[in-house]
């Protein structure tokens, strides 16, 4: 169980082959951001299996959701930072090199940490609106059918739910599950997966 908690914290760093290091996902985003207001950047990735232009892929997902959406890029990991209502923030990063990672995080008021139905609805909302490559439909299906189980974690301010998909078809898609954490006045709701 402690291993699953470690994986929750370290997964984006382990899976990403981008040139930027990925921060600990349990902490709020840093204040320093590069404001490109939706300008698409580009990553290099010679020898990569997947398209490493995470800026382009992430920007396309955001524009598909709302063409007028404003966002900036966080330098340290290439995540799009999207201001939302009620002082909430969406962080989104899609792409990779040897692993195609989909990672969405929703930062909100810490009072939402104990509201499980709110948090689960946000996970479904993020997967449905920003993921593709089957992650959108599989996450929505599994969560809607309650095909997930809460894991016991050693930290009282963190919850981890793993997907229990009865489909045993061998696939290169890994559904990591979703987590909820609380740090200070912020709660973080995160969902991720990757393609090998």
pLDDT at residue 187 greater than cutoff 90: yes
CB-based contact 109:185 (threshold 8 Å): yes
Tokens of 138: 């599989």
Q: Domain for residue 28, yes or no?
A: no
pLDDT of residue 52: 58
**Which residue has 């890994």 as its token pair?**
174
| Alpha-carbon span 157 to 155, nearest angstrom | 6
27 inside domain: no
- Is pLDDT of 16 > 50? no
Structure tokens that stand for 120 in this block: 């689960």
66 inside domain: yes
In a domain, 29, yes or no: no
How far is C-alpha 67 from the chain's CA centre? 20
CB 58 within 8 A of CB 77: no
Q: Please check whether residue 23 is in contact with residue 77, taking contact to mean a CB–CB distance below 8 angstroms.
A: yes
| Of 67-76, 147-156, 162-171, 175-184, the least confident | 162-171
Q: Which residue has the tokens 């994986």?
A: 7
What's the CA gap between 92 and 109, in Å, rounded?
18
Residue 26 belongs to a domain:
no
Q: What is the pLDDT of residues 54-74, one digit of tens each?
A: 688 899 999 999 999 999 999
Query: Which domain range does residue 40 map to?
Result: 2-21+34-195
Residue 53 lies in a domain: yes
Number of folded domains that form the chain: 1
Task: Tell me how far apart the alpha carbons of residues 185 and 145 are, in angstroms, rounded to a whole number.
Answer: 31
* Distance in angstroms (rounded) separating the CA atoms of residues 127 and 137: 8
What element of type H or E holds 120?
Answer: helix 116-130
Taking only the tens place, the pLDDT of each residue in 40-54 is: 433 444 566 666 566
CA–CA distance, 85 with 73 (Å, rounded to integer): 19
Query: Is 72 within a domain?
Result: yes
pLDDT band at 100 (very low <50, low <70, confident <90, very high): confident
Residue 129 phi/psi, 5-degree rounding, is -95, -20
Find the helix packing angle between 54-65 and 116-130, rounded to 10°: 110
First CA to last CA distance, the chain: 23
> How many beta carbons lie within 10 A of that of residue 54, not counting itself?
30
* Token pair in block for residue 43: 């990553």
Q: Residue 8's pLDDT is what?
A: 44
């Amino acid at each position: 169980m402690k291993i699953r908690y470690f994986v929750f914290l370290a997964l984006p760093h382990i899976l990403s082959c981008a040139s930027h290091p990925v921060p600990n996902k349990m902490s709020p985003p840093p204040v320093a951001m590069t404001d490109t207001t939706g300008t698409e950047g580009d990553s290099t990735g010679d020898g990569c299996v997947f398209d490493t232009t995470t800026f382009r892929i992430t920007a396309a997902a955001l524009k598909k959701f709302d063409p007028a959406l404003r966002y900036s890029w966080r330098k340290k990991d290439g995540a799009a930072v999207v201001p939302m209502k009620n002082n909430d923030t969406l962080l989104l990063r899609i792409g990779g090199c040897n692993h195609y990672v989909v990672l969405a995080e929703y930062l909100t008021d810490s009072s939402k940490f104990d509201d499980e139905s709110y948090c689960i609805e946000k996970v479904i909302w993020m997967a449905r609106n920003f993921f593709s490559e089957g992650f959108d439909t599989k996450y929505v299906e599994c969560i809607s059918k309650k095909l997930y189980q809460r894991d016991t974690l050693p930290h009282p301010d963190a919850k981890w739910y793993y997907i229990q998909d009865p489909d045993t078809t061998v696939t290169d898609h890994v559904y990591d599950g979703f987590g909820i954490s609380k740090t200070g006045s912020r709660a973080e709701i995160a969902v991720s997966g990757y393609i090998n």
